[in-house]
Chains A and B, each alone.
Chain A
Amino acid sequence: DGGITQSPKYLFRKEGQNVTLSCEQNLNHDAMYWYRQDPGQGLRLIYYSQIVNDFQKGDIAEGYSVSREKKESFPLTVTSAQKNPTAFYLCASRPPGNTIYFGEGSWLTVV
């Protein structure tokens, strides 16, 4: 089936630990995005990538890092520098000029 797959669905992070959220798409979309959503809030853009080997910071990039080595994959690393990482993380992809397609999201909790 075509779509965007995020994994894991639930992830727990200890203090000072880096964790990586996976995002894979088989829609052949060039652009990919990572958003953060806090409870009861809207989406805030972390990073986005328009093509392979290129990405730009969004509105809240501090404490996060990404890579785009393959068109299908756009993993997000939440580093220990992110002091309040507990949130719902959404990956998305987008064809030129059209709507954005979202994955099912990953819940990250600091323990």
Chain B
Amino acid sequence: SQQGEEDPQALSIQEGENATMNCSYKTSINNLQWYRQNSGRGLVHLILIRSNEREKHSGRLRVTLDTSKKSSSLLITASRAADTASYFCATANAGGTSYGKLTFGQGTILTVHP
């Protein structure tokens, strides 16, 4: 079963606007990761946030984590047409080994119009 659920399923914005995607999960986690997938390609890792962290930044990306609500958000600021892709959250369950499997959500399809 899917651990993470992204919201919204699809998001359409204009270039320069900010895009916010949310992810909810059900069980305790060690970390939560966000990945990007261009159409028909493999996934690329964007950012990892550990369960004891609340916010993390990487370039135009900002990720927050609220373990009390079991939710995370990914903010892309000043979006570009090249940001058009699907974005997935993935969770590593607490108590698992460092090789433990990641569970992916259904993804948010982001379209940025020039």
Contact = CB atoms under 8 A, between A and B. Distances in A.
B44 A48 contact: no
A43 B99 contact: no
A53 interface: no
B2 interface: yes
A96 B40 contact: no
B93 interface: no
Interface in B28-56: 33, 40-45, 48
Contact of A30 (B42, B88, B99, B109): B99
Nearest to A30: B99
A42 B101 contact: no
B11 to A, nearest CB: 14
A88 B40 contact: yes
B99 A42 contact: no
Given A40-B109, A42-B106, 4 more contacts: A41-B107, A94-B102, A101-B45, A104-B41
